[in-house]
């Protein structure tokens, strides 16, 4: 079953203004159009393409004489081996160009920082780090909400050539230790607490326990968020952020090699201790410049927003927008504060030009009956981004019906593994219902069948067949690269296999059907979970759903049957009539193989901290197998709703 391909686009670029986009200007400068020709050149001539990206997007640094060495090796290719640059220097290059950021903490706290003020704060924190003994290659960890201080600490760290890593404060103690304990940071920045849905959440006790169990720490800095003067005396070696000495010098930028570590990011799965994925200065910088300027059309003076925590790679993606001269719109708290309106209030008040969120937020906003295009002035809004899970065709419909008709809706997909996108938006291409617009420039993305052959208009594995600069440098504590190789290169030799069940469409767009490791296989037919969610979540009684394959008969592994768990809207119960409607909705719009053998009601659906449902963890619970790394879950208690269900015994 594949989505029906619509021949009529939901949106097309305006011929009068499309020439003003950075993508159109790049195409003209390269002398290559249409986009398909530009993309083909970018993957056929990677050295020339990435060299042009460095120049066209205004990267600051010394590129050196060589662009690509051992380009046939994957992994193993080396990009710009003679280059010297610094990510933070590029992010902070627009020193006197107005406003750097705006911050909203739900509807309670609002702050602003100019670019000059941001520079001053980065200098102040950098000098504290130097005094604390932090230098090139050392790790600094942020256990923080999406605050201005988080950005300041990251830039101060990376300007020194030290390595930044972050997690959001909703992680429990063990979740933080599972992550930061592996990389042994010298300095930890944390917060006294945070607001969520109008309620304060204190973090001081957790902070004290974490610091006591992390012997690598030399200093801990506590950011006051809930209180002006939090009680930090029980946290060993702690100092309050507002007690740091004033800066005596400007920010110092240490230019490092292209592949020098910049960020350590953590996989969010529940199959073991998180992988520590190391990303480099040059790869992150060039990829983000390309994605922001060309694919997202972020220009100087734009106002860029993404709803994200600091435990999700979209935070790292968002903050790179400063390098394009944009103002960042930071937000912390519930996206449904102020009766579900807060993010659209923010968009109106700050004249947001780019609105980033998750597919689940769009689904939830639609279910709440929000009509932002009628209730808010969104004149400035040019683009909307969606990621985290596949955006359903109905989600596309809602955006164009209830937000704005003249908007670029860019469904995007990539991941922590590349801290960026494989497939994403494009301001010079039309938007078709249910489809991601295009493959990213310089990314040799394809879809392979099980035999490793490229396929079109057929579901298969999303792969990348050639090296690209933002491939991880490797995994932390993986000296021989075995874990890194096993993660991406075991399925197809010398080919990056990303783990997404996907399709390349007739428009050369992309549809993501879900994670490959969560696909269902009843009767030997592979089914993407997103195909079932799309149908079930159209029913007004269904709030959310999660589907797994249950081995059947038990213990024999002869086949699997499809089991659908549903969380209902308040006031509804799962009776025989609703089960029949669920099955009919799926059967009428997919195939008989998609129809679940069992439909079971649950109170809640378990998710990672970044909002992704965890099908594999639930599958383990259903099969009475252990779930590792439950600290990755925002609501681990929800797993209990799936354990020992009598409905699954027959």
pLDDT in tens, 210-219: 999 999 999 9
Task: Tell me how far CA of residue 314 lies from CA of 109, 225, 486, 572, in angstroms.
Answer: 22, 22, 25, 35
Percent of the chain with pLDDT over 70: 98
The per-residue pLDDT for 48 is 98
Residue extents of the structural domains in the chain: 106-250, 522-648
Q: Which CATH architecture has domain 106-250?
A: 3-Layer(aba) Sandwich (3.40)
- C-alpha 587 chain-centroid distance: 33
Measured CA to CA, the distance from residue 331 to residue 111 in angstroms comes to: 11
Handedness of CA 556, 558, 559, 561 (dihedral sign): negative
The per-residue pLDDT for 123 is 98
Kindly tell me if the per-residue pLDDT of 3 is higher than 60. no
- C-alpha 97 chain-centroid distance: 28
Burial 185-222 (b: 16+ CB within 10 A, else e): bbbbbbbbbbbbeeeeeebbebbbbbbeebeebebbbb
The per-residue pLDDT for 523 is 77
3-state secondary structure of 90: helix
Alpha helices (H) along 133-253: 148-159, 173-183, 204-212
- Indicate the helix (H) or strand (E) that contains 383: strand 383-387
Handedness of CA 30, 34, 37, 38 (dihedral sign): positive
Question: Which residue did the predictor score with more confidence, 193 or 608?
Answer: 193
Question: Which residue did the predictor score with more confidence, 271 or 498?
Answer: 498
Q: Which fold has domain 522-648?
A: GMP Synthetase; Chain A, domain 3 (3.30.300)
Task: Tell me how far CA of residue 334 lies from CA of 182, 195, 198, 351, in angstroms.
Answer: 30, 8, 8, 20
Give tens-digit pLDDT for 227-239: 888 889 999 989 9
Of 392, 400, 501, 411, nearest to 447 by C-alpha is 501
Of 398, 335, 359, 274, nearest to 612 by C-alpha is 359
Kindly tell me if the per-residue pLDDT of 128 is higher than 50. yes
3-state secondary structure of 37: helix
Of 370, 428, 362, 429, nearest to 390 by C-alpha is 362
3-state secondary structure of 321: helix
Cβ count near 273 (within 10 Å): 15
Residue 336 contacts residue 150 (beta carbons within 8 Å): no
Measured CA to CA, the distance from residue 101 to residue 88 in angstroms comes to: 16
The per-residue pLDDT for 524 is 74
Measured CA to CA, the distance from residue 97 to residue 586 in angstroms comes to: 53
Q: Residue 486 contacts by C-beta under 8 Å, 6 or more apart in sequence?
A: none
Give tens-digit pLDDT for 419-444: 999 999 999 999 999 999 999 999 99
Question: Which residue did the predictor score with more confidence, 612 or 206?
Answer: 206
User: pLDDT class for 313, splitting at 50, 70, 90?
Assistant: very high
R_g over Cα of the chain: 24
Q: Residue 482 contacts by C-beta under 8 Å, 6 or more apart in sequence?
A: none
Measured CA to CA, the distance from residue 424 to residue 619 in angstroms comes to: 30
Measured CA to CA, the distance from residue 473 to residue 481 in angstroms comes to: 10
Alpha-carbon torsion angle 352, 355, 356, 359, nearest 10: 150
Task: Tell me how far CA of residue 590 lies from CA of 1, 427, 547, in angstroms.
Answer: 6, 32, 15
Angle at 9 between CA 8 and CA 14, to 5 degrees: 130
Kindly tell me if the per-residue pLDDT of 359 is higher than 50. yes
Measured CA to CA, the distance from residue 85 to residue 81 in angstroms comes to: 11
Of 346, 334, 312, nearest to 103 by C-alpha is 346
The per-residue pLDDT for 269 is 56
The per-residue pLDDT for 2 is 46
Measured CA to CA, the distance from residue 650 to residue 643 in angstroms comes to: 15
User: pLDDT class for 272, splitting at 50, 70, 90?
Assistant: low
Kindly tell me if the per-residue pLDDT of 362 is higher than 60. yes
- Indicate the helix (H) or strand (E) that contains 61: strand 61-62
Q: Residue 593 contacts by C-beta under 8 Å, 6 or more apart in sequence?
A: 522, 523, 525, 527, 562
Residue 462 contacts residue 498 (beta carbons within 8 Å): yes
DSSP single-letter state for residue 4:
P
Residue 124 contacts residue 99 (beta carbons within 8 Å): no
Q: What are phi and psi of 362, to 5 degrees?
A: -60, -45
Q: What are phi and psi of 629, to 5 degrees?
A: 60, 45
- 512 pairs with which residues across the strands? 502
Cβ count near 254 (within 10 Å): 16
Helix-, strand-, coil-residue percentages of the chain, each rounded to 5: 30, 25, 45
The per-residue pLDDT for 611 is 81
Of 459, 447, 438, 553, nearest to 37 by C-alpha is 438
Residue 643 contacts residue 566 (beta carbons within 8 Å): no
Handedness of CA 310, 314, 318, 319 (dihedral sign): positive
Of 59, 68, 166, nearest to 471 by C-alpha is 68
Report the mean per-residue pLDDT for the chain: 94
What is the mean predicted confidence (pLDDT) over 384-390? 93
- C-alpha 255 chain-centroid distance: 27
The per-residue pLDDT for 518 is 85
Residue 383 contacts residue 297 (beta carbons within 8 Å): yes
Kindly tell me if the per-residue pLDDT of 192 is higher than 80. yes
Peptide bond connecting 648 to the previous residue in cis, omega within 30 degrees of 0: no
The per-residue pLDDT for 298 is 98
Measured CA to CA, the distance from residue 3 to residue 8 in angstroms comes to: 14
What is the mean predicted confidence (pLDDT) over 599-608? 94
Angle at 305 between CA 303 and CA 306, to 5 degrees: 160
What is the mean predicted confidence (pLDDT) over 242-256? 96
Q: Structure tokens of 360?
A: 């689940």
Q: Residue 510 contacts by C-beta under 8 Å, 6 or more apart in sequence?
A: 413, 423, 435, 436, 438, 439, 445, 462, 502, 503, 504
What is the mean predicted confidence (pLDDT) over 116-125? 97
Q: Give pTM, 2 decimals.
A: 0.91
Q: What are phi and psi of 43, to 5 degrees?
A: -95, -25
* Cα atoms in the 13 Å half-sphere on the side-chain side of 60: 14
Length of the chain: 650
Kindly tell me if the per-residue pLDDT of 184 is higher than 80. yes
């Amino acid at each position: 079953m594949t989505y029906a391909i619509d021949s009529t686009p939901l949106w097309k670029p305006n011929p009068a203004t499309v020439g003003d986009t950075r993508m159109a200007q790049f195409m003209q400068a390269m002398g290559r159009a249409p986009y398909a020709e530009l993309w083909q050149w970018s993957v056929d001539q990677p050295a020339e393409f990435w060299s042009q990206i460095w120049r066209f997007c205004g990267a600051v640094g010394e590129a050196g004489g060589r662009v690509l060495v051992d380009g046939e090796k994957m992994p193993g290719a080396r990009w710009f081996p003679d280059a010297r640059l610094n990510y933070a220097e590029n992010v902070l290059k627009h020193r006197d160009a107005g406003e750097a950021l705006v911050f909203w903490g739900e509807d309670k706290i609002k702050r602003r920082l100019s670019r000059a003020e941001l520079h001053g704060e980065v200098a102040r924190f950098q000098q504290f780090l130097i005094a604390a003994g932090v230098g090139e290659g050392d790790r600094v960890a942020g256990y923080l909400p999406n605050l201005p201080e988080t950005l300041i600490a990251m830039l101060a760290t990376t300007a020194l050539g030290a390595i930044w890593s972050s997690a959001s404060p909703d992680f429990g103690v063990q979740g933080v230790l599972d992550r930061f304990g592996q990389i042994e940071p010298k300095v930890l920045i944390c917060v006294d607490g945070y607001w969520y849905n109008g309620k304060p959440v204190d973090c001081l006790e957790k902070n004290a326990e974490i610091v006591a169990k992390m012997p690598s720490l030399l200093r801990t800095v506590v950011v006051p968020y809930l209180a002006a003067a939090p009680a930090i005396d029980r946290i060993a070696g702690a100092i309050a952020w507002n007690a740091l000495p004033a800066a005596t010098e400007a920010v110092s930028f240490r230019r490092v090699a292209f592949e020098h570590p910049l960020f350590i990011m953590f996989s969010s799965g529940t199959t073991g201790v998180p992988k520590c994925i190391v990303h480099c200065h040059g790869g992150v910088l060039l990829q983000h410049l390309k994605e922001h300027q060309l694919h997202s059309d972020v220009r100087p003076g734009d106002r860029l927003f993404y709803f994200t925590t600091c435990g999700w790679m979209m935070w790292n993606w968002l903050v790179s927008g400063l390098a394009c001269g944009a103002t960042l719109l930071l937000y912390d708290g519930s996206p449904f504060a102020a009766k579900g309106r807060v993010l659209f209030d923010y968009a109106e008040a700050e004249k947001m030009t780019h609105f980033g969120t998750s597919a689940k937020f769009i689904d939830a906003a639609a279910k709440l009956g929000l009509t932002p295009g009628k209730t808010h002035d969104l004149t400035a809004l040019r683009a909307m981004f969606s990621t985290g899970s596949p955006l359903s065709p109905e989600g596309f419909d809602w955006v164009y019906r209830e937000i704005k008709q003249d908007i670029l809706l860019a469904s995007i997909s990539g991941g922590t593994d590349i801290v960026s996108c494989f497939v994403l938006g494009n301001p010079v291409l039309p938007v078709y219902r249910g489809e991601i617009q295009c493959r990213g420039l310089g990314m040799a993305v394809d879809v392979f069948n099980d035999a490793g052959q490229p396929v079109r208009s057929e579901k298969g594995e999303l792969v990348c067949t050639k090296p690209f600069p933002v491939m991880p440098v490797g995994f932390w504590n993986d000296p021989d690269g075995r874990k890194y190789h096993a993660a991406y290169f075991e399925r197809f030799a010398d080919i990056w296999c990303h783990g997404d069940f996907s399709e390349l469409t007739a428009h050369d767009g992309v549809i993501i059907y879900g994670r490959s490791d969560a696909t269902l296989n009843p009767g030997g037919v592979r089914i993407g979970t997103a195909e079932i969610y799309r149908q079930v979540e159209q029913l007004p009684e269904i709030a959310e759903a999660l589907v797994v394959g249950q081995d059947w008969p038990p213990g024999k592994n002869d086949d699997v049957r499809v089991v659908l768990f549903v969380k209902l809207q308040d006031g509804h119960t799962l009776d025989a009539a609703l089960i029949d409607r669920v099955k009919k909705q799926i059967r009428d719009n997919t195939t008989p193989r998609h129809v679940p053998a069992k439909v079971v009601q649950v109170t809640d659906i378990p998710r990672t901290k970044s909002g992704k449902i965890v099908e594999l963890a639930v599958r383990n619970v259903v099969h009475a197998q252990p779930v590792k790394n439950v600290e990755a879950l925002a609501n681990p208690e929800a797993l209990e709703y799936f354990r020992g269900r009598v409905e699954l015994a027959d």
